């Protein structure tokens, strides 16, 4: 019998707010331990929480971005448990009345049997809760840092719609892209801003009922999630194939040993004794508030990529580049809107401008800090942000350059020279062409002379071409271009050479 995996993810994301969820302490990373704390987030007796408005908005904004329903009634509940990093002995969360529910994420992944390369995963809910502190264990004692206690945290729960480790990985990346685009979270993995619990079971292919759910904790990157699943799924299949029975349980991923190990079974599951927090009013968003939040909805990454391919006729790789580098994509679009050759504009922006920018930024900043594995492959840190803003030339200059090439006023070789000059000096392309005499020679008379000369001094290659070696033409063409100092119209050169050699 063949088995298939069923996966659902619970993703915790730190919200991008200035202050914590219930108090005015800073929501910031990397401060000295216990410097961003107050009686409220330390859970001292008698204090009262005041909800962070922006956190409420960002949660509902996430609901909109994930196509969720936004109920007109939501509330906060206490989830009771004891753990030293949580001084109140309960976590405030949303239990049965979350702020958002029943949405979906669409992302690029060609699932089994899918006709296109998109997959859809249903979102059960995205609800608001608070983070806890952090424990540190030393030789003979332990320490607690409460800077993170009470930081607004959103939990995004998926339906068990994922079917493979790769699909889970792509879902997480898509979710991260959406949250970063939407300004909901920076999703910086290195700073622990995204954490994910994985639920996975196996069942005979085609079966309706779900198998026993096993939850895996302690992955600290998206690729860690993928590796944990790559280990856990075959393990579960091996158990059931050998006649064993899986029981609902929680396992811990050991990233070094690359295995999951049993933590607890359902028997020792907690009873959290959820009840509505009496210190917090229920939430009843009204039309005006919802409209205000909705006005912050931005175009999503996938939609942007698809629009760039559709509206500007870009190949997928270019559109992907502009999806991942938002400032560069915006810059491209500002020019492409006015151009008849958006693809040519994209080539200049990606191949030339971006290269120049990274060159100059690596010259300015010394050793760039090493980005995490995930940061590199996805939304790259905006190394180009700063410099795009202080380009010496106007966007219109790039438009002009493209049209100089399109109208064959200059050759593509000369265009490279013009670009380098306009990047360094900010002069306009036409002026540079005039100043440097780069206008392309399309005067056949002049080109004929160059061709005659090249054929005369290169009898070998000329004969090679005549005796059926077409590659020899490129060599001769190169010689003519050289002789004309790159100014001859290459298409004309080719034609004239061929005509002369075949004569
Ligand atoms: P709990 O009540 O233990 O929190 P839920 O039913 O709320 O469990 O589900 C938590 C997560 O586990 C969700 O992401 C859900 O999609 C996923 N899940 C639930 N049942 C299964 C299963 N049998 N196999 C895989 N994932 C599951
Ligand atoms: Zn505080
Ligand atoms: Mg649940």
Count the domains in the chain.
Answer: 3
pLDDT tens figures, 277-332: 999 999 999 999 999 999 999 999 999 999 999 999 999 999 999 999 999 999 99
Percent of the chain, pLDDT > 90? Answer: 78
Average pLDDT value over all residues in the chain = 91
Average pLDDT score over residue span 455-460 = 94
pLDDT at position 389, please?
A: 82
One domain, residues 16 and 85: yes
The range of the structural domain enclosing residue 454 comes to 444-502
Closest listed residue to residue 414, CA positions, set 429, 425, 399, 428 = 429
Of 436, 460, 481, which marks where a domain is finished? 436
DSSP state of 190: G
Model confidence over 335-372: pLDDT tens digits? 999 999 999 999 999 999 998 888 776 655 544 444 44
Indicate if ligand 1 lies below 6 Å from the C-beta of 160.
yes
* Residue range 25-42, pLDDT digits in tens: 999 999 999 999 999 999
Which tens digits make up the pLDDT trace of 100-113? 999 999 999 986 65
Task: Choose among 453, 455, 444: nearest CA to 503.
Answer: 455
CA angle 20, 48, 53 (to 5 degrees): 40
Residues 425 and 476 reside in one and the same domain: no
307 CB near ligand 1 (under 6 Å): no
> Residue 7 forms beta bridges with which residues?
162, 200
Pairing mode of beta strands 194-204, 3-14: antiparallel
Residues 321 and 265 in one domain: no
Would you say residue 34 lies in a domain? yes
What pLDDT shows up at residue 380? 42
Find out whether the beta carbon of 157 lies less than 6 Å from any atom of ligand 1: yes
In 3D space, the residue among 192, 253, 188 whose CA is nearest the CA of residue 226 turns out to be 253
> Among the atoms of ligand 1, which is closest to the Cα of residue 10?
14
For residue 363, the cross-strand partners are none
274 and 307 both lie in a single domain: no
Q: Are residues 427 and 462 in the same domain?
A: no
C-alpha distances out from residue 125 to 388, 394, 435, 467, 487, Å: 38, 46, 63, 73, 63
The partner residues of 105 in beta bridges, in order of sequence, read 121
Q: Are 94 and 200 contained in the same domain?
A: yes
Ligand 3 center to 124 CA (angstroms): 9
Q: Is residue 369, in this structure, part of any structural domain at all?
A: no
* Residue whose C-alpha is closest to residue 67's, from 124, 8, 129: 124
d(CA 467, CA 407): 35
| Distance from residue 8's CA to the centre of ligand 1 (Å) | 6
Residue 385: pLDDT above 70?
no
- Using a 6 Å cutoff on CB, does residue 210 contact ligand 1? yes
Query: Any alpha helices (H) in 265-411, and if so which ranges?
Result: 287-294, 301-312, 316-324, 326-336, 342-347, 354-364, 373-377, 385-389, 395-406
Flag whether pLDDT at 384 surpasses 80.
no
Residue 408: what pLDDT? 84
Structure-token match 């994910």, residue found = 196
406 and 463 inside one domain: no
- Binning pLDDT at 50, 70 and 90, where does residue 486 land? confident
For CA atoms 308, 381, 221, 271, give the dihedral sign.
negative
CATH number for the domain harbouring residue 453: 1.10.10.410
User: Cα(198) to centroid of ligand 1, in Å?
Assistant: 9
CB-ligand 1 contact for 213 (6 Å cutoff): yes
Q: Ligand 1, closest atom to CA 160?
A: 16
Q: Does 288 reside within a domain?
A: yes
Cα–Cα distance list, 163 to 75, 167, 230 (Å):
33, 7, 12
Q: Does the beta carbon of 495 lie inside 6 Å of ligand 1?
A: no
Taking the complete model, does pTM exceed 0.85, yes or no?
no
Say how many Å lie between the CA of residue 271 and the centre of ligand 1: 17
CA–CA separation, 459 and 114 (whole Å): 59
Indicate which atom in ligand 1 lies nearest the CA of residue 9. Answer: 14
181-232: pLDDT as tens digits: 999 999 998 888 999 999 999 999 999 999 999 999 999 999 999 999 999 9
**For the ranges 146-155, 373-382, 494-503, which has the lowest average pLDDT?**
373-382
Residue 158 lies in a domain: yes
pLDDT digits (tens, 9 = 90+) for 38-86: 999 999 999 999 999 999 999 999 999 999 999 999 999 999 999 999 9
- Decide if 373 is inside a domain: no
Does 235 share its domain with 122?
yes
Q: Are residues 228 and 321 in the same domain?
A: no
Distance of CA 327 to the CA centre of its chain: 13
Domain boundary among 412, 436, 460: 436
Q: How confident is the model at residue 377 (pLDDT cuts 50, 70, 90)?
A: very low
Q: Say how many Å lie between the CA of residue 471 and the centre of ligand 1.
A: 63
What average pLDDT does range 269-274 have in this prediction? 85
Q: Looking at the structure, tell me whether residues 23 and 80 fall in a common domain.
A: yes
The top-scoring range by mean pLDDT among 213-217, 422-426, 439-443, 494-498 is 213-217
Last residue of one domain, picked from the residues 265, 293, 321: 293
49, 279 in Cβ contact below 8 A? Answer: yes
Instruction: Kindly identify the ligand whose nearest atom is closest to the C-alpha of 121.
Output: 1
> Residues 428-452: what's their mean pLDDT?
87
d(CA 237, CA 218): 22
Distance between CA atoms of 252 and 228, rounded to whole angstroms? 9
Minimum CA distance residue for ligand 1 atom 7: 157
Name the closest ligand to CA 199. Answer: 1
**423 pLDDT exceeds 70?**
yes
Please check whether residue 372 lies inside any domain of the structure.
Answer: no
Chain-centroid distance of CA 241 in Å reads 38
- Residue 45 in any domain: the answer is yes
For the Cβ of 168 lying below 6 angstroms from any atom of ligand 1, the answer is: no
Q: What is the pLDDT of residue 440?
A: 78
Q: Using a pLDDT cut of 70, give the percent of the chain over it.
A: 93
Residue nearest atom 11 of ligand 1, based on CA coordinates: 8
Question: Is any ligand 1 atom within 6 A of the Cβ of residue 10?
Answer: yes
CA atoms within 13 A on the CB side of 493: 26
CA–centroid distance, 415 to ligand 3, in Å, is 60
To test ligand 1's pocket by mutation, which of 93, 160, 197, 251 has the most ligand atoms within 8 angstroms of CB? 160
Place of tokens 């990274």: 358
Residue 229 within any structural domain of the chain: yes
Residue from 8, 66, 265 whose mutation best tests the ligand 1 pocket (most atoms within 8 A of CB): 8
pLDDT (tens digit per residue) in 128-164: 999 999 999 999 999 999 999 999 999 999 999 999 9
Q: Phi/psi zone of residue 408: left (φ > 0), alpha (ψ -120 to 50 degrees), beta?
A: left
Check pocket membership of 200 for ligand 1, CB cut-off 6 A. Answer: yes
The Cα–Cα gap between 260 and 239 comes to 14
Residue 255 beta carbon below 6 angstroms from any ligand 1 atom: no
pLDDT at 376: 39
Q: Could you tell me if 156 and 278 lie in one domain? A: yes
The answer on 242 and 261 residing in a single domain is: yes
For residue 267, what are its two tokens? 């028997």
What's the 212 CA to ligand 3 centre distance in angstroms? Answer: 15
């Amino acid at each position: 019998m063949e088995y298939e995996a069923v996966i659902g993810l619970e993703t915790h994301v730190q919200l991008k707010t200035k202050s914590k969820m219930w108090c005015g302490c800073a929501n910031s990373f990397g401060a000295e331990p216990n410097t961003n704390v107050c009686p409220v987030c330390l859970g001292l007796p008698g204090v009262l929480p005041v909800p962070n408005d922006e956190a409420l908005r960002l949660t509902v904004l996430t609901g909109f971005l994930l196509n969720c329903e936004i109920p007109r009634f939501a509330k906060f509940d206490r989830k009771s448990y004891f753990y030293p990093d949580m001084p109140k002995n309960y976590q405030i969360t949303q239990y049965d009345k979350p702020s958002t529910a029943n949405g979906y994420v669409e992302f690029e992944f060609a699932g089994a049997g899918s006709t296109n390369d998109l997959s859809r995963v249903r979102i059960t809910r995205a609800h608001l809760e608070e983070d806890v502190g952090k424990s540190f264990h030393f030789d003979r004692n332990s320490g607690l840092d409460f800077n993170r206690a009470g930081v607004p945290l959103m939990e995004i729960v998926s339906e068990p719609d994922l079917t493979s480790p790769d699909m889970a990985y792509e879902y997480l990346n898509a979710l991260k892209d959406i949250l970063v685009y939407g300004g909901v979270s920076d999703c910086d993995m290195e700073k622990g801003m995204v954490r994910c619990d994985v639920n996975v079971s196996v069942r005979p292919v085609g079966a309706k009922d779900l198998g026993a759910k096993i939850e895996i904790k302690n992955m600290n990157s998206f690729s860690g999630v993928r590796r944990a699943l790559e280990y856990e799924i075959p393990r579960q299949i091996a158990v059931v194939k050998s006649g064993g029975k899986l029981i609902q349980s929680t396992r811990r991923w050991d990233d070094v040993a690359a295995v999951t190990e049993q933590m607890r079974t359902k028997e020792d599951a907690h009873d959290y004794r959820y009840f509505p927090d009496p210190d917090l009013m229920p939430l009843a968003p009204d039309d005006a508030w919802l409209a205000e939040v909705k006005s912050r909805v931005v175009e999503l990454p996938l939609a942007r990529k698809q629009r760039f391919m559709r509206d500007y006729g870009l190949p997928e790789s270019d559109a992907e580049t502009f999806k991942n580098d938002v400032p560069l994509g915006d810059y491209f679009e500002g020019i492409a809107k006015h151009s008849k050759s958006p693809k040519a504009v994209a080539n200049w922006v990606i191949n030339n401008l971006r290269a120049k920018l990274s060159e100059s930024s690596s010259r300015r900043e010394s050793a760039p800090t090493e980005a995490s594995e995930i940061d590199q492959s996805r939304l790259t840190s905006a190394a180009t942000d700063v410099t795009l803003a202080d380009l010496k030339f106007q966007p219109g200059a790039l438009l002009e350059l493209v049209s100089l090439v399109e109208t064959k006023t200059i050759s593509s070789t000369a265009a490279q020279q013009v670009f380098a000059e306009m990047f360094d000096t900010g002069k306009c392309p036409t002026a540079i062409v005039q100043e440097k005499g780069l206008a392309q020679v399309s005067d056949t008379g002049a080109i004929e002379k160059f061709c005659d000369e090249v054929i005369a001094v290169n009898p070998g290659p000329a004969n090679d071409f005549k005796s059926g070696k077409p590659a020899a033409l490129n060599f001769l063409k190169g010689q003519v271009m050289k002789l004309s100092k790159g100014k001859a119209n290459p298409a004309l050169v080719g034609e004239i050479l061929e005509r002369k050699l075949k004569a």
